[in-house]
Amino acid sequence: MKIAVQHLARIEGHAHLVVDTAAGELLECRLEIVESPRFFEPLLQGRHYSDVAPIIARICGVCSNSHTLVSLAASEAALGVRISTQTRRLRKLLAFGEILQSHLLQLYFMAVPDYLGVPSIFPLIQRQRELVSRALRLKKLANDICWAVGGRPVHPVTPCLGGFSALPAAAALQDLRRQLVAALPDLEQTVELFAGFEIPAFERPTEYLCLSGEPGYPVFGEAIISSDGICVRVDEYLEVIEEYCVPHSTAKFARASRDSYMVGPLARFRNAGKSLSPMARKVASALGLAANTSNPYLGLIARLVEVVHCAEESIHLIDDILLDGLRSEPLPTPNKGGYGVAAIEAPRGTLFHAYRYDANGCILNADCIIPTAQNLANIEADLRQLVPTRMHLEQDALTRELETLVRAYDPCISCSTHLLKVDFV
């Protein structure tokens, strides 16, 4: 039996799924990443730091805020720029907005159709209009956070080196807080919706990697940790993560302690679930998400738990920001070069940027490791283990289960083909 799904639907970016079995044996199983590489490093070489974040944001529309924020953090590390508490909080709020927006898009628009047996969310407008309206309401709120803090949800405008070129109005933040509180019923109903889904059973333990160092559930972090015992500083990332080329993929794959590892909501939950917000922990418990689960399908539930966490944490974060009051802060003009590494927990997992600058503030070289690139080996390993156990299914049903597994990772293919380590001689 041969399964070849071209241009997998309901994921970000382009990938083909190829599975070949014969006589009960798996011959071939791969996720072909066919997205064209755009070679973002050459785009960056020689560019001034004020251009780096805007260019790098264009790698990905869905996680442009994560790229922007980690890019700025890496530049600040390289150029010796410190940021204020206000900036740190606003960036975290923007990160929350993006995680909410990305997770909600994936949950409602990409994953829900699988579990409700429809090709997309659009047919539900007739039969379950309220579900669609709710999805749009929640997504709009997430985007409103990004509008208020970042200036625009896709490819933000206001974050810049050392701070923000424009601050949100206090009234805007107050309004967001009101809306976040008002969104709780919608979140409850979302939890109920997912509670009714039948998540396929499948276990494949792997290494789970994420950031750590800040108190609380990780967004930014100074250290990399994993379930296999990795604990290094972020700037030592190259010592624990190894990228390698694969013939059928324009994206590189990665390994750490084992042949493959996972980043993303499930990895974060496993490593730091105790630090989730109170409501999020309740939801995790209600949905039966155990701390030691190794079912990659449950990435879906971990994602939903993170939605609740981010919503609740955003309320507190806005309160902190408003209590101190927003103040216009001067922006730095660094005058030396250097090397810096930063990492952020993007919606899909740990994202690393590393830059080397010359004394004029222009990029000498750049490196990025993308969450999805780190997951690709693990996805394939999961598929290779999953297929033999599902051989009894009809081709269509099997295809659906395999697609659902891929979607559980919420891969972002556009990102993963673009930032690959290049050394300029």
Q: Using the rule CB under 8 A, is 155 a contact of another protein?
A: yes
Residues 160-189 that bind another protein (CB under 8 A): 160, 164-166
Residue 243: CB minimum distance to another protein, A: 11
Among 21, 58, 128, 338, binds another protein (CB under 8 A): 58
Q: Using the rule CB under 8 A, is 245 a contact of another protein?
A: yes
Q: Using the rule CB under 8 A, is 307 a contact of another protein?
A: no
Number of residues that bind another protein (CB under 8 A): 63
Of the two residues 57 and 321, which places its CB atom closer to another protein in the complex? 57
Q: Using the rule CB under 8 A, is 288 a contact of another protein?
A: no
Among 316, 315, 62, 312, which Cα is nearest to 187's?
312
Q: Using the rule CB under 8 A, is 152 a contact of another protein?
A: yes
Q: Are strands 25-33 and 15-22 parallel, antiparallel or unpaired?
A: antiparallel
Q: Using the rule CB under 8 A, is 51 a contact of another protein?
A: yes
Q: Using the rule CB under 8 A, is 133 a contact of another protein?
A: yes
Residue 365 pairs with which residues in a beta bridge?
356
Q: How many whole angstroms separate alpha carbon 109 and alpha carbon 90?
A: 28
Of the two residues 87 and 250, which places its CB atom closer to another protein in the complex? 250
Q: Using the rule CB under 8 A, is 157 a contact of another protein?
A: yes
Helix (H) or strand (E) holding 308: helix 299-324
Binding range to another protein, per CB under 8 A, among 102-110, 203-211, 261-269, 295-303? 102-110
DSSP characters over 69-98 = HHHHHHHHHHHT----HHHHHHHHHHHHHH
Helical residues (DSSP H) of 325-412, grouped into ranges: 371-389, 395-408
Contact 120, 162 (CB under 8 A): no
Q: Which residues contact 222 (CB under 8 A, 6 or more apart)?
A: 211, 212, 213, 214, 233, 234
Q: How many whole angstroms separate alpha carbon 242 and alpha carbon 244?
A: 7
Q: Using the rule CB under 8 A, is 36 a contact of another protein?
A: yes
Q: Using the rule CB under 8 A, is 311 a contact of another protein?
A: no
Q: How many whole angstroms separate alpha carbon 333 and alpha carbon 81?
A: 9
| Contact positions vs another protein (CB under 8 A) | 7, 9-14, 34-39, 41-43, 47, 51, 54-55, 58-62, 64, 105, 109-110, 113, 119-122, 125, 129, 132-133, 136-137, 139-140, 143, 150-158, 160, 164-166, 245, 247, 250, 414, 420, 422-423
